[in-house]
A and B are shown apart, each in its own frame.
Chain A
Amino acid sequence: MTILQRIKNKVRARSIHVAYVDVGSCNGCDIEVLACLAPRYDIEQYGIFVHNNPREADVLLVIGAYTPGWEEKLAMVWEKIPDPKAAVAIGNCPISGCLFNRRESFVDPPVKKHIPIAAEVPGCPPRPTEILQAILSVRDSVFANWEEEHP
């Protein structure tokens, strides 16, 4: 890796776009993601821009317990994201289904079965700080050796 490539990787990692998709949750985690945008936590000071468009995204935040309505659509959203990309599961729902994963319910967690998940944030709901930390830890690995693989 040349120095120029390293600089490219580093600069790209400091400027990423995030898209979020709610695959059937109670909206608690959506509100916590929203809190990340607010001045108290201010996700944009880290160069993370929440622009809800998968075509431009680098990181996808998946929220919710995967209801049947999302069966092919979540994979479609995931395929629309250009490489390099990573998905972060926010909250208990995409990890285990939590309270929705009961007998005779139609949810199909974990989301890991349907799209590859790079990081998981447990909690019901997780704190904005934890969401922020997860995105920050993922963004370094997303562009870690991207220039090398795709010169």
Chain B
Amino acid sequence: MGQSLIWYLKEFARIEWIKKFLFAKTAPLVTPSYFRGFPEPTGKICQNALFCMMVCPAPGAIEVVHDEDGWIPRIHKGHCIRCGFCVEACPNGILKSGRILETKEREGTSLLFSFRIAIDLELCTGCGNCCTACPVNKVIDAQMGAGGHSSNDEVIMRVQEGDIVVIHEDKCTGCKTCEVSCPTGAIRIARILEGYQQPVQEESQ
């Protein structure tokens, strides 16, 4: 009887069991490298194209700021949702996250931006604030006056006979300075984002 009790005690006090009871944990606390984390810099030089900020769906998640060394995208944790769009949209591959960059290279995909300028002629007073505020207009026609009149055909938009006319929509960079400067809220900029995949070249037979 005494012998069997000892046997039982020994059986239940196995060292491996005690070790398991105290220390055994499943090991889920490791995140695989291919999971999309918060975007990290790859070390390439940022060209300040701002595609990351344009494509970001979360408000205030990414900012391109000017550091001592140059432009650098800064991710704000607590705002970022780890969708990886900024990694995909960047034309220079500044950011990396999971295996997005490899997939993008393999599949030959990219994101294309264009902007549409919508003007509500009911609200527009033809003051020309948008034309003079536009930074692209400023570069093209530095002589543009306060009324937004211009004799230059290369500007994005100008005032003609009291009405605003959009000439070169394709030059818009989507900065929305015109939206801010409009006193009546008549001008709106819409961002159009298109996914694009390069056609795969078929091998010649």
Known: A92-B79, A98-B79, A120-B78. A45 touches B60 (CB 8 A): no
Contact of A99 among B35, B38, B58, B78 (CB under 8 A): B58
A46 to B23, CA, bound (A): 10
Contact of B31 among A42, A96, A127 (CB under 8 A): A127
Cβ–Cβ contact A132 & B77, under 8 A = no
Say yes or no for B81: interface residue by CB 8 A criterion: yes
Cβ–Cβ contact B29 & A129, under 8 A = yes
User: How does the 8 Å CB contact mask read for B73-91 relative to A, with 1 for contact and 0 for none?
Assistant: 0001111111000000000
User: How does the 8 Å CB contact mask read for B30-42 relative to A, with 1 for contact and 0 for none?
Assistant: 1100010010000
A95 to B35, CA, bound (A): 23
A127 to B81, CA, bound (A): 12
A78 to B148, CA, bound (A): 59
A96 to B24, CA, bound (A): 37
Known: A96-B60, A99-B59. A122 touches B28 (CB 8 A): no
Cβ–Cβ contact A132 & B26, under 8 A = no
User: How does the 8 Å CB contact mask read for A14-56 relative to B, with 1 for contact and 0 for none?
Assistant: 0000000000000000000000000011100110000000000
Chain A interface residue count, Cβ-Cβ cutoff 8 angstroms: 21
Contact of B28 among A98, A102, A124, A132 (CB under 8 A): A132
Say yes or no for B14: interface residue by CB 8 A criterion: no
Cβ–Cβ contact A101 & B28, under 8 A = no
Chain B interface residue count, Cβ-Cβ cutoff 8 angstroms: 20
Q: Which residues of chain A come closer than 8 Å to B30, judged between CB atoms?
A: 129
Known: A102-B59, A127-B31. A122 touches B26 (CB 8 A): no
Residue of B nearest to A99 (CB): B58
A102 to B29, CA, bound (A): 34
A124 to B38, CA, bound (A): 11
Cβ–Cβ contact A101 & B26, under 8 A = no
A132 to B27, CA, bound (A): 12
Cβ–Cβ contact A92 & B81, under 8 A = yes
Residue of B nearest to A35 (CB): B28
Q: Which residues of chain A come closer than 8 Å to B26, judged between CB atoms?
A: 40-42, 45
Residue of A nearest to B35 (CB): A127
Cβ–Cβ contact A96 & B29, under 8 A = no
Say yes or no for B25: interface residue by CB 8 A criterion: yes
The smallest beta-carbon distance between A111 and chain B, in angstroms, is 12
The smallest beta-carbon distance between B57 and chain A, in angstroms, is 8
Cβ–Cβ contact A129 & B78, under 8 A = no
Q: Which residues 54-81 of B have a CB within 8 angstroms of A?
A: 57-60, 76-81
Extra 4 A-B pairs, beta carbons < 8 Å, given A42-B28, A122-B38, A123-B81: A40-B26, A46-B25, A92-B58, A133-B29
Q: List 11 A-B contacts (CB under 8 A).
A: A41-B26, A92-B81, A95-B78, A96-B78, A99-B57, A122-B78, A124-B80, A124-B81, A127-B31, A132-B29, A133-B29
Q: Which 4 A-B pairs have the closest CB atoms?
A: A124-B81, A95-B78, A122-B77, A122-B78
Which residues of A are in contact with B by a Cβ distance under 8 Å?
A: 40-42, 45-46, 92, 95-96, 98-99, 101-102, 120, 122-124, 127-129, 132-133
